């Protein structure tokens, strides 16, 4: 049925990005990863089609949900979503960076703004692969968004004649508390100053000389993980890499980027779990992901109240969301596997709700 659908649909595309995406204050992109060997071995099949519609210049994606009808025959329900950009399984981190993240970095550097790029999706859908990359070798995905952003910032700093410092801090938010991942997981506090700027007090920040130094630094970090059926290194914390470009004489921040690898979104559903650890993790993740969505929607609808204080994550990201020069990029990652279809649909609905006010 899926093959028949694809035969009659516009050709599948690897990268399809609307030309307005680079100028929007919030842009939402979806990345489909390839089917993994393990999924194929277990009889899984690809239920996600990515399509570029040139005539509307909109990137769309179709999730084919397998169904069984009342007479027990097989059926398929097609769910179509449109986003600022869609990446197919052969898209590389470099392509994702070039079309989704680079415009934000350039804008923030030129306008002295603050911005956030976050990866949202189910465990094992490719968030860490997108943000961190594979980390070794020369492959297409060896560098992730972290190092590609750092590379671009250093290029901008050189272009501006130097004299600026780049520094980075890396921490996680786990059960509503922040822990410094570059300083033995010491507890750190998020505080707001009288100008509304958010500070992570006690966070170790390293001054960097190159993007390679950032990768070295990150390789020494230790993020909270616990084994799950889908992914033995499943992330239950939100990991935040903050990179700042600073004017050394005045110590003023010229631009700031928060790059967030969110905890697996399926944990949100485990708030009702029988296991106490799972329940506590699930409840906290649920709260922060809901609050993130509510804050973005409140900002988009110009509501007088934005519930930043509803979670540590949104409190922390507040200064990247407010201000005329702020930018937000969401990269939702999905697995194409038939077994994960329900989780992928949840991710696609979340991504659509984040953006549907525009
Ligand atoms: N675009 C891709 N191309 C090839 N392999 C990929 C891609 N994205 C993810 N993978 C592979 O899928 C697996 C899961 O990816 P990853 O660890 O990035 O998931 P995750 O969403 O970060 O999960 P978690 O929330 O548990 O950390 C890894 O083996 C990774 O190499």
Q: DSSP for 160-201, please give it.
A: TTS--EEEEEEEEEETTEEEETTTTTEEEEEEE-TTS-EEEE
CA distance 264 to 126: 10
Q: Is the ipTM of this complex over 0.95?
A: yes
Residues in the chain where the model's pLDDT stays below 50: 54-57, 226-234, 357
Per-residue pLDDT, 226: 45
Q: Tokens at residue 61, please?
A: 């994606």
* 121 labeled binding residue: yes
Per-residue pLDDT, 250: 80
Strand stretches in 43-146, DSSP E: 48-53, 58-68, 74-83, 85-87, 114-121
Q: What is the CA radius of gyration of the chain?
A: 20
CA–centroid distance, residue 206 to ligand 1 (Å): 27
Per-residue pLDDT, 136: 63
Q: Which residues span the domain enclosing 299?
A: 2-355
Per-residue pLDDT, 229: 44
Question: Please, what's the largest Cα pairwise distance for the chain?
Answer: 74
CA–centroid distance, residue 73 to ligand 1 (Å): 34
CA–centroid distance, residue 91 to ligand 1 (Å): 14
CA–centroid distance, residue 55 to ligand 1 (Å): 32
Strands 186-192 and 85-87, bridge-based pairing: unpaired
* 277 labeled binding residue: no
Per-residue pLDDT, 282: 80
CA distance 111 to 108: 5
Residue 145: partners with Cβ closer than 8 Å, 6 or more residues away: 93, 96, 97, 101, 117, 119, 130, 131, 133, 259, 331
Residue carrying structure tokens 């930043």: 308
Q: What is the CATH number of the domain that holds 265?
A: 3.40.850.10
Looking at the chain, the whole-number percentage of residues with pLDDT higher than 90 is 35
Looking at the chain, the whole-number percentage of residues with pLDDT higher than 70 is 86
Per-residue pLDDT, 232: 41
Per-residue pLDDT, 58: 60
Residues in contact with ligand 1 (CB, 6 Å cut-off): 33-34, 36, 121, 123-129, 141, 231, 234-235, 264, 333
DSSP per-residue letters across 78-89: EEEEEESEEE-T
**Using one digit for the tens of pLDDT, what is the confidence trace for 88-138?**
888 999 999 999 999 999 999 999 889 999 999 998 899 989 998 876 665
> Of the residues 36, 126, 225, 239, which should be mutated to test ligand 1's pocket, given the most ligand atoms within 8 Å of the CB?
126
Per-residue pLDDT, 115: 92
**Using one digit for the tens of pLDDT, what is the confidence trace for 142-180?**
789 999 999 999 999 988 887 899 999 999 999 889 999
CA distance 301 to 303: 5
Per-residue pLDDT, 74: 77
CB-hemisphere CA count at 13 Å for 275?
Answer: 8
DSSP secondary structure letter of residue 49:
E
Q: Using an 8 Å Cβ cutoff, are 113 and 255 in contact? A: yes
CA distance 227 to 232: 4
Per-residue pLDDT, 52: 56
Give the count of domains, the chain: 1
């Amino acid at each position: 049925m899926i093959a028949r659908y694809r035969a009659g649909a516009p050709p599948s595309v690897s990268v399809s990005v609307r030309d307005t995406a680079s100028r929007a204050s919030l842009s939402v992109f979806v990345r489909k990863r390839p089917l993994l060997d393990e999924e194929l071995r277990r009889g899984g099949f690809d239920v996600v089609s990515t399509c570029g519609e040139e005539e509307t210049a909109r990137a769309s994606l179709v999730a084919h949900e397998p169904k069984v009808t009342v007479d027990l025959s097989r059926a398929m329900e097609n769910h179509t979503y449109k986003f600022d950009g869609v990446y197919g399984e052969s898209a590389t981190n470099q392509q994702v960076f070039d079309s989704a993240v680079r415009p934000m970095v350039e804008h923030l550097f030129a306008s002295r703004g603050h911005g956030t790029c976050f990866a949202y999706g189910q465990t094992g859908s490719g968030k860490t692969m997108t943000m961190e990359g594979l980390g070794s070798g020369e492959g297409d995905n060896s560098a992730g968004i972290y190092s590609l952003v750092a590379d671009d910032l250093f290029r901008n700093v050189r272009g501006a004649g130097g004299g600026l410092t780049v520094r980075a801090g890396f921490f996680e938010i786990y059960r509503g508390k922040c822990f410094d991942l570059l300083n033995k997981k010491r507890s750190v506090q998020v505080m707001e100053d009288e100008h509304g700027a958010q500070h992570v007090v006690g966070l170790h920040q390293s001054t960097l000389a190159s993007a390679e130094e950032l990768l070295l630094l990150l390789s020494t970090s230790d993020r909270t993980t616990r084994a799950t059926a889908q992914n033995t290194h499943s992330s239950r914390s939100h990991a935040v890499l903050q990179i700042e470009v600073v004017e050394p004489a005045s110590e003023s921040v010229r631009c700031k980027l928060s790059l967030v690898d969110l905890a697996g979104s399926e944990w949100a559903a485990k708030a009702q779990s029988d296991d106490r650890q799972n329940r506590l993790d699930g409840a906290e993740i649920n709260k922060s992901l809901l609050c993130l969505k509510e804050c973005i929607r409140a900002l988009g609808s110009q509501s007088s109240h934005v519930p930043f204080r509803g979670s540590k994550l949104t409190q922390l990201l507040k200064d990247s969301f407010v201000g005329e020069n702020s930018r937000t990029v969401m990269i939702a990652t999905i697995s194409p596997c038939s077994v994960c279809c329900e989780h992928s649909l949840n991710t696609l609905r979340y991504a659509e709700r984040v953006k549907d006010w525009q």
